[in-house]
Amino acid sequence: MIFKAVFFDVDGVLLDTLPAHIQVCKNLAEKNEPLKRSIPTAKEFKKKIVRGDKEIAPMRCFFKAVGFKEEEINKAVSWYDDNFSDKFDLPCFDGVEAMLAKMTKTLPLGIVTSNVRKNVEGPLAESFKHFTPGCVFTKDMKLSKSAALVLGASYLGLEIEEVLFVGDQKRDHEAAKTVGASFLGVTYGWQFDVGDKGLDLVNGPEEILPYIQSKNDR
Mean pLDDT within 180-197: 93
Question: At 196, is the pLDDT very low, low, confident or very high (cuts 50, 70, 90)?
Answer: confident
Q: What is the pTM of this model?
A: 0.94
High-pLDDT (> 90) share of the chain, %: 81
pLDDT at 140: 94
Mean pLDDT within 204-213: 98
Is 34 a residue whose pLDDT tops 80? yes
Q: pLDDT for 114-123, tens place per residue?
A: 999 999 999 9
Rounded Cα distance, 196 and 187, in Å: 9
Give the contacts of 212 (CB within 8 A, at least 6 positions apart).
3, 6, 103, 107, 164
Is 2 a residue whose pLDDT tops 80? yes
pLDDT at 50: 67
- The mean pLDDT value of the chain amounts to 94
Is 51 a residue whose pLDDT tops 80? no
pLDDT at 181: 98
Rounded Cα distance, 88 and 98, in Å: 23
Q: pLDDT for 137-155, tens place per residue?
A: 999 999 999 999 999 999 9
Q: Domain 5-15+91-216 carries which CATH code?
A: 3.40.50.1000
pLDDT at 44: 86
Q: Which amino acid is at 40?
A: P
Question: At 16, is the pLDDT very low, low, confident or very high (cuts 50, 70, 90)?
Answer: very high
Q: How far is CA 108 from the centre of its chain?
A: 18
Residue from 96, 98, 101, 107 nearest 213 by CA: 107
Give the contacts of 108 (CB within 8 A, at least 6 positions apart).
4, 5, 6, 132, 135, 156
Pick from 25-34, 127-136, 140-149, 198-207: least confident: 25-34
Question: At 56, is the pLDDT very low, low, confident or very high (cuts 50, 70, 90)?
Answer: confident
